[in-house]
Structure 1
Amino acid sequence: MTEPSRTSLSYRDAGVDIDAGDQLVENIKPFARRTMRPEVLAGIGGFGGLVEISKKYREPVLVSGTDGVGTKLKLAFELNRHDTVGIDLVAMSVNDILVQGAEPLFFLDYFACGKLDVTTATEVIKGIAHGCEQAGCALIGGETAEMPGMYPAGEYDLAGFAVGVVEKSQIITGESIQPGDVVLGLASNGAHSNGYSLIRKVLHLAEADFTATFDGDRSLAEVVMAPTRIYVKPMLKLMANLPVKGMAHITGGGITENIPRVLPEHCVAQIDAASWQLPKLFQWLQQAGNIASQEMYRTFNCGIGMAVVVAAEHAEEAIRQLTAEGETVYRIGHVRLRDSNEHQTQVA
């Protein structure tokens, strides 16, 4: 057994640069500051973030959600595009808590890497702050973990969670959904943050050229890295004006596996696939990967990022209001009675 080195070692010698971490905190403070809400008492820099609940709620209920970005990050590394994955991170959590009627209050992130690249990390967290601005929630803190040997050079992982609040009497559960209700679909920005293990496999098999013009004036790289759309502000405004019976964020599991999560047992969502045009990205993936249609619908959002269930008499007004807020909205189906053990979402 050799004697231990008598050389004075530092944390930096072990691969952790505290100064770089401090610089990152300073870099992100201006972006986080733009996301602040009146309820935030203490944000970035402390051991914990302090947020009070607004007095406008009589019976406030906290709603929380957590998620990551998944293997879409592998494309971010390959393409050296780090400015939008932070938006994806926020979107995956705030859209999830939105479906229960919650207004997102604050968000925290976890950024883990083997060696901290301050420039890259700043781009990522700048995107997180931008996503928080879109959602109207405050970025009050997070964690940057530099762990030598845990990640390959140039790679990192992301996780985050959001906390929102909803009046107890206004929680959206889907219990009031009944046959005859209408299912609306809000357009997605692309594949969002789901199905990327399959997307990457198709891209590899097709030997795709990321620089080639793919959709209009956008390159394939721009299309596959388009950030997840955040539906918070338009939907909160709609919910303040009209009764919304149910919502489903179309994430992993696609259309067929997410809509049932909000339906009563006796109901089926009958989705008309012809009611919207399959975006070019999904057309190409299906053709290049020889993917069956039903596999497409249970893997990808296929152009529908959020499903919204309303009473038939409110459907047209909901479409009008959401369109006025900048959303592209389709009337994609209706709710009907369920036959025995059939799957709760049928796409045809």
Structure 2
Amino acid sequence: MILYNRNRRLRANQSLRDLVKETVLTTNDFMLPVFITEGQGVVEEIPSMPGIYRRSLDQTVKEVKELWSLGIKAVNLYVKVSDTLKDNTGKEAWNKEGLMQQSIKAIKDAVPEIVVMPDVALDPYSIHGHDGIVEDGKILNDETVEALVKMSLSHAEAGADFIAPSDMMDGRVLAIREALEQNGFSDVGIMSYAAKYASSFYGPFRDALDSAPGFGDKKTYQMDYANSREAINEALRDIEEGADIVMVKPGLPYLDIVSRLHELVDVPVAVYQVSGEYAMIKAAVQNGWLDNDKIILESLTCIKRAGASLISTYFAKEAAILLNQ
């Protein structure tokens, strides 16, 4: 048998495999979601996310300095607020002296070059655990958008580089973009959670922030996981309204959406490898079923291969350490 074409020739050794590698993962691809809580000197591990912590602001600043030294260029910020500050309006979300606003300022003062993308949604501030204002069991869209605009402006004033609305309310990107322009923040970008699915993979995240919905679910505003064309429509509308980056969330189970968006849009596509994905991998590692280092790099490379320009992942720090070795 004579074979003129042998695909295995290009796999013969590591040097050849490196030469023809199509997707190269670097620390420039990562954002780390960061959980911030009240207090001083607080470092609390999240039980459902081993290796991930809620930190007080002083400890968060130390962590961000280390992230920057590892080559991580961006952080997503999430705050756990006291129950006493929660209500149905979410007004603590735009408190100029609130935990999120203080965190943005402190991080930008400590590491000016790192890209800070604070989360914009009402669920951490809501007595109902929903991403919007509730009336008679219904999540109100337009009233919520007004609140999100106030929240976004407070983040911009605090020094945020990007606004990251994760709420999935209709029209919020346009409203935020107009408010930023009208208030002198034309250089502040928007990373829209454009295709955020109503997923069961979010459980550990809700444990981290105590933000699980108090009634019902989020299916009237987050997307049906059975749909793909709807995701394209959501992303295209957000881009028309002024989004600079569009995000797909979750990650690995939705790579078909990532790939389609990558081919269709001219803005960067972000992917959030969410808490449930992290927790499943870590559980398998702890049981000896998977190799920790190999599965981290494989999963992140697959997300990038699908078309992600940047990946928000709880593995960012571990992956950076591995890539820097």
Report the structure, 1 or 2, having the larger helix content: 2
Which structure has the larger Rg?
1
Report the structure, 1 or 2, having the larger strand content: 1
Range into which the TM-score falls when normalised by the shorter chain: under 0.3
**TM-score by structure 1 length?**
0.21
